[in-house]
A and B are shown apart, each in its own frame.
Chain A
């Protein structure tokens, strides 16, 4: 789409028509000029608005990095905070580079096939604003997916392993999945009304319960599963020991920032706003997102009161996020009441997944697999049941498919199921191999001594909270390292006179 001069192509095109109006006493030339100006201003204004909308949404999705960093920091022990936060910074920073070099090309390059994209590597053929704004929006999503996985392997993973898995996930594993579902050339996609779709439907995942959350969660699962639980998490008889995070304040701060950013993640996935249909879809997404998260949070609050007899802040926050992860697939397609129902289901899904993973002695410091994997899958399947046909048609500009309870047809549900299974298999295969190789070369898990002392002291140059006398991080283990750090602390940054 371009912006044209008033007396160029446009003028020539309508001149013949307007000559006919001259007999009615109309100044055809002037009218032509005005009409062309009008049309071209309309195009400009739409362009400006849509670009603005996509960019703001991208910035909001980026803000979820801050949220996730705070959530992670608060959820782990103080001695590992620097480590986990640094991995969050690197997900965004290193992710930007790998997504620039190859990731975007594998996802959206136009020269590929149904399986993988090709072209646009290192932005070599980027021309218009649409290319750049799409890149930044999609990069923010890729960084989110990598961030999710880091939660599962927190507190016991070597930094090298983080760099390797993160680059691989953002540069290849995730882009390929996003190509299947979100590129008009992908084999799973529901986009592009002109072509054939899987089961005459295609997989419907508006903002990524499958593409982002399941991929991130399953990647995390394999890392955490292969390296094993944190020391002390399950005792000798297999009973669990709760390892609580060190700051509820940070957990809440992080959760709120994630909630805030989700308003870019879900509604922003329409990637347009300057027309009536898009505006409706965007607004609907904001509503369903809000309602689902809220319902999940409230459900979790009461469920945990029932189960553990108190009002649990950290659990409510996780439940909230589970609701968001679930609604991400169907935010544009479900009715508000259905979003509330989904939130209720997501809360119980998370509780159930946690109970299940405990049975397998699987340890995930952020419950990332249970939340993003479990609630993500729930969200993907839910669309197949309760995606309203009218809404689906509004988004995809073609009709005749929708949720089972609206249309009576299982085609969409089948597509969702196939998509979910393939995503699970693909991610498991690739990330399983990645983590297995890291483990084989002794690059995955840190040593026991390092784990006890904490990653901050052993790999990041010192405690996150130096000089805090009240903090258990000061209880350094009786090693030479611990003693040296301890005496240093007393000399240099005592906060007491």
Chain B
């Protein structure tokens, strides 16, 4: 059929009815007339564009989540003593690298294998990406990339808790186990369409709503934090951290610069972690995907900002100065908390959550000190504590219309208690949190305990005093001592003679 005047008039009417702008109207006409009215070809052309956009969005989000590895690496390096910086950074590299292998072989399959057809506890298909196909939402490459980046994040969190005193073998063992099995099972429960507590299990929805954890305050942060707790608790605190009279020795990290660099990179990457978790950005029918993504970026920003500001003033009041490391940790605690509800809470609620997350972290740190628990990165307090806060907060303040936009929910779905949505969502959040905590504690507890029995967990006191970089990573005494990265380029000792210029 040719593009005669009737068809052109019809196209003009379509354009005006669908409110296309001048450019889009021209594109529409070109498409239809260009294909000589072969509408189906034009449709597939647009469908390609939609797929391309969504894929690009998911991949780019995966790359952003990946850059959080760099952020966590820098944060860790800056937060430990210089003698252990290489060690902790290597564990970060291995989380991503070894994690990729174990997630490829087993992890993804346990998490999403079988899609909606597997059982409620664990996935059972597609080991080693055996049957990946572009048309399978949960068995395609871009989804693997995104989910792997998340798995690597969870493993990274744990490494912070056991920093400065753990054998490298133990790192490899826990990391593989966590990324290959423990974490995937949790993500199956909450994110796979067949998971027993999943908010996507439309056939068999737990308490009519499932656990709502959009990007993983529970699945990622609680899992990583609790795994870290088990390791750090079983192996005990760093030497010198708690003295004989029960007092606490502060062990400062060796570079505030790296802490800030790492924190900012994590913030940056969080824009892939949270908004990316919708996994699509092109709207379909009434589903305003792009609105959910944009709003998620906003709530993430506001929660982190509020948490940072609250921590700034809280610590000023409590410690008497403006503390950089604490503000950075508070900021990250805010992000960990908003991760569950970023797509379903209102902006003002995100600010309130940030305020609460800051105090949660401060409280958790107090508690940790009381029970003589040592965590060099405050990882358990931050990811475990603020993660739990975030999970429960959803049960209180998930707005119904947002919930229906971000999840496949129907009219009549339970929503946030404070909006009048009943208690089912809060109950689901609580039950989910408890199950995640118990599962992770048991699995990782057993692993760390076995490692300890075989003397594979903690390093010796001599090694701890000398520092892992020298004893396990081949760092020699030659060259400058002190910070391994971003060494201040100082030649002389007098401030006036500092020289930052390269002499070529």
Binding site for B on A (CB under 8 A): 1-5, 9-10, 12-14, 17-18, 20-21, 24, 26, 31-32, 34-49, 51-52, 54-56, 58-59, 62-63, 65-66, 69-70, 73-74, 77-78, 81-83, 85-86, 88-90, 92-97, 100, 122-123, 126, 128-130, 132-133, 135-136, 139, 159, 232, 241, 243-251, 253, 275-277, 310-314, 456, 459-462, 464-472, 475, 492-493, 495-497
Contacts and interface: CB of A to CB of B under 8 A. Distances in A.
Given A45-B49, A460-B321, 14 more contacts: A17-B6, A38-B31, A43-B24, A44-B283, A83-B322, A85-B256, A85-B257, A86-B327, A89-B260, A129-B295, A136-B297, A241-B496, A275-B24, A465-B256
Nearest to A16: B13
A5 B302 contact: no
A39 B28 contact: yes
B39 A31 contact: yes
Nearest to A25: B1
A89 B327 contact: yes
16 contacts: A35-B14, A38-B14, A38-B28, A41-B47, A42-B24, A42-B28, A90-B327, A92-B305, A93-B305, A100-B351, A128-B291, A159-B322, A247-B486, A249-B489, A472-B495, A472-B498
Contacts of A2: 19
Interface string B54-71: 101100100010000000
A39 B486 contact: no
B501 A459 contact: no
B82 A495 contact: yes
B295 A100 contact: no
B324 A55 contact: no
B482 A43 contact: no
B252 interface: yes
B458 interface: no
A78 B24 CA distance: 55
B107 to A, nearest CB: 27
Minimum-distance CB pairs A-B, first 4: A48-B282, A96-B305, A129-B291, A132-B294
A34 B265 CA distance: 46
Nearest to B497: A244
Contacts of B483: 465, 468
A20 B13 CA distance: 14
Nearest to A13: B17
A297 B37 CA distance: 54
Nearest to A46: B24
Given A52-B281, A77-B495, A129-B295, A465 B482 contact: yes
A45 B50 contact: yes
Contacts of B251: 492-493
**Most chain B CB atoms below 10 A, which of A2, A48, A49:** A48
B486 A249 contact: yes
B255 A464 contact: yes
A130 B283 CA distance: 13
Interface centre among A1, A46, A94, A459 (most CB of B within 10 A): A46
Contacts of A250: 257, 486
Nearest to B272: A59
B414 interface: no
Interface in B120-144: none
Contacts of B455: none
Interface stretch (B176-184, B212-220, B306-314, B370-378): B306-314
A3 B283 contact: yes
A470 to B, nearest CB: 6
A82 B252 CA distance: 13
Given A43-B20, A129-B295, A495-B81, A93 B309 contact: yes
A468 B18 contact: no
B501 A314 contact: yes
B309 A97 contact: yes
A24 B17 CA distance: 24
Contacts of B495: 77, 472, 475
A466 B254 contact: yes
Contacts of A85: 256-257, 260, 324
B246 interface: no
Contacts of A38: 14, 28, 31-32, 39, 42-43, 46
Contacts of B293: 51-52, 55, 129
A460 B324 contact: yes
Most interface-central of B6, B253, B264 (chain A CB within 10 A): B264
A275 B291 contact: no
Contacts of B411: none
Nearest to B492: A472
Contacts of B249: 492
A55 B24 contact: no
Contact of B18 (A31, A43, A126, A249): A43
B473 to A, nearest CB: 14
B53 interface: yes
Contacts of B56: 52
Nearest to B496: A241
A36 B294 contact: no
A467 B499 CA distance: 21
B254 A10 contact: no
Contacts of A14: 10, 13-14, 17
B488 interface: yes
A43 B268 CA distance: 29
Interface in B5-42: 6-7, 9-11, 13-21, 23-24, 27-28, 31-32, 39-40, 42
B195 interface: no
A166 B268 CA distance: 21
Interface string B71-107: 0000000000111000000000000000000000000
Given A470-B482, A493-B251, A248 B294 contact: no
Contact of B323 (A18, A126, A130, A461): A461
A78 B495 CA distance: 9
A216 to B, nearest CB: 19
B328 A468 contact: no
Given A51-B294, A66-B264, A492-B249, A313 B501 contact: yes
A433 B158 CA distance: 50
Interface string B453-496: 00000000000011100000000000011110011111001111
Given A3-B285, A55-B297, A459-B321, A470 B39 contact: no
A56 B271 CA distance: 9
B347 interface: yes
A36 B13 CA distance: 10
A78 B488 CA distance: 8
B482 A495 contact: yes
A93 B264 CA distance: 11
A24 B15 CA distance: 23
Nearest to A30: B39
Interface in B226-241: 240
A82 B327 CA distance: 11
A48 B323 contact: no
Given A85-B256, A132-B298, A464-B256, A52 B351 contact: no
A82 B351 contact: no
Given A14-B10, A39-B28, A97 B319 contact: no
B123 to A, nearest CB: 29
A44 B282 contact: yes
Contacts of B290: 47-48, 51-52, 129, 133
A1 B498 CA distance: 59
B390 interface: no
Nearest to A79: B495
Contacts of A36: 14, 17-18
Nearest to A20: B6
Max count, chain B CB within 10 A of own CB: residue among A3, A44, A93: A93
A61 B330 CA distance: 23
A268 B73 CA distance: 29
B500 A247 contact: yes
B348 interface: yes
B43 A37 contact: yes
